[in-house]
């Protein structure tokens, strides 16, 4: 029984679930965390009407609504589906959503999220020249890298203009830098040429592409994703893809590391103009993504502001998660 529903008021649960729109909302929220606007589009309802129906679901402890800037994101409460009455309501709601096609259209919503980032990064380099100055930091990084137990291969997922290559190329024997944007890879290629990195392979591919797997082989020692997660339509799926690129653990050695650098939760809505689908993540969210992706002992630390560069996002809180593939 749901803790939010006292025994003497349990009849309220039946009243809440007697409305077909709420059944459909519950089913969609069980399938994917969706914004109120996305739910409105899927069900052909106005946002105020969706909000009105969400209120009793939230009060009954059936759904959770978290704020992210001006958006409200809705997901089913974990304990809800364990209740027999709610489980039956979910089955009915899912049948209604299958009948009206809204369940199948969730995939289209995720593709639309993804398209925002694709279009943004296909625009190519911004006006002005990319900074080209390299100080002695690369030499220090190369020296420090000798302390790593395994440094045969690193993967730079979503390499963008290749900024992370200034750290990875001096540190690893081989680096595979992958991006799905030809425009971004052109910028990375220019950087590689200027720096003279002979150990970097640039690849235009999706993270799950067979061609990338061929270059990675048995798996990378470290897989990096720097400021990539907040562009992902479904972040946990991206972490799963990163995990599959890391080498699995063996009886005698830990698995490859997955390093995710991204923003902590913030409220700067202007970053949506930079194709940011998510306004950062709480440490608990990152650890949940890691756990569901098959990573072990995730550790999340905050990055000091002085280390966050001088770009448009330097004012945001940055954090890094480090974890290892289990098997």
The predicted pLDDT at position 119 comes to 87
Q: 292-316: per-residue pLDDT in tens?
A: 999 999 999 999 999 998 899 999 9
**If you average pLDDT over residues 214-243, what whole number do you get?**
97
> Does residue 134 carry a pLDDT above 70?
no
Looking from the CA of 91 toward its CB, the CA atoms found within 13 Å total 6
> Which residue ranges form the domains of the chain, and what is each CATH number?
7-104 (1.10.10.10), 137-325 (3.40.50.150)
Give percent of the chain with pLDDT exceeding 70. Answer: 93
| CA gap 14, 25 in Å, rounded | 15
Place of tokens 């020249």: 129
The predicted pLDDT at position 1 comes to 47
Contact (Cβ atoms closer than 8 angstroms) between residue 26 and residue 63: yes
Contact (Cβ atoms closer than 8 angstroms) between residue 60 and residue 16: yes
**If you average pLDDT over residues 255-276, what whole number do you get?**
96
Tokens of 310: 């001088």
> Does residue 173 carry a pLDDT above 50?
yes
| CA gap 1, 325 in Å, rounded | 36
Q: What letter would DSSP give residue 150?
A: -
**If you average pLDDT over residues 207-217, what whole number do you get?**
95
SS (H, E, C) 206-266: CCCCHHHHHHHCCCECEEEEECCHHHCCCHHHHHHHHHHHECCCCCCCCCCEEEEEEEECC
Contact (Cβ atoms closer than 8 angstroms) between residue 240 and residue 274: no
The predicted pLDDT at position 8 comes to 45
Q: Of the given ranges (69-83, 91-105, 134-148, 297-311), which has the lowest mean pLDDT? A: 134-148
Sign of CA dihedral 71, 77, 81, 87: negative
| CA gap 169, 173 in Å, rounded | 8
Contact (Cβ atoms closer than 8 angstroms) between residue 55 and residue 89: no
Q: 3-51: per-residue pLDDT in tens?
A: 555 454 677 888 899 999 999 999 999 999 999 999 999 999 999 999 9
| CA gap 17, 7 in Å, rounded | 17
């Amino acid at each position: 029984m749901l803790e939010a529903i006292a025994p003497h008021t349990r009849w309220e649960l039946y009243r809440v679930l007697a409305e077909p729109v709420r059944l459909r909302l519950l089913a969609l929220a069980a399938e994917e965390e969706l914004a109120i606007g996305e739910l409105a589009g899927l069900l052909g309802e106005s946002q105020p009407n969706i909000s009105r129906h969400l209120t009793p679901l939230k009060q009954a402890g059936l759904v959770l609504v978290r704020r992210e800037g001006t958006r409200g994101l809705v997901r089913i409460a974990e304990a809800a589906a364990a209740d027999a009455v709610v489980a039956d309501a979910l089955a009915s709601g899912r049948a209604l959503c299958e009948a009206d096609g809204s369940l199948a259209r969730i995939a289209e919503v995720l593709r639309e999220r993804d398209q925002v980032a694709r279009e943004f990064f296909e625009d190519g380099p911004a006006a002005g020249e990319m900074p080209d100055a390299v100080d002695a930091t690369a030499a220090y990084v190369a020296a420090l890298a000798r302390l790593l137990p395994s440094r045969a291969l690193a993967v730079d997922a979503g390499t963008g203009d290749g900024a992370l290559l200034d750290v990875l190329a001096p540190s690893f024997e081989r680096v595979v830098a992958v991006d799905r944007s030809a425009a971004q890879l052109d910028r990375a290629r220019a950087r590689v040429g200027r720096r003279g990195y002979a150990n970097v392979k640039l690849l235009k591919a999706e993270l799950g592409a067979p061609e990338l797997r061929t270059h990675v082989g048995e798996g990378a020692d470290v897989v990096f994703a720097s400021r990539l997660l907040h562009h992902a339509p479904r972040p946990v799926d991206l972490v799963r893809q990163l995990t599959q690129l890391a080498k699995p653990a063996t009886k005698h050695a830990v698995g490859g590391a997955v390093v995710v650098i991204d923003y902590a939760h913030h409220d700067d809505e202007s970053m949506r103009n930079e194709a940011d689908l998510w306004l950062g993540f709480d440490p608990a969210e990152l650890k949940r993504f890691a756990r569901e992706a098959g990573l072990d002992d995730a550790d999340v630390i905050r990055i000091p502001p002085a280390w966050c560069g001088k770009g448009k996002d330097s004012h945001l809180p940055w954090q890094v998660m480090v974890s290892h593939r289990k098997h």
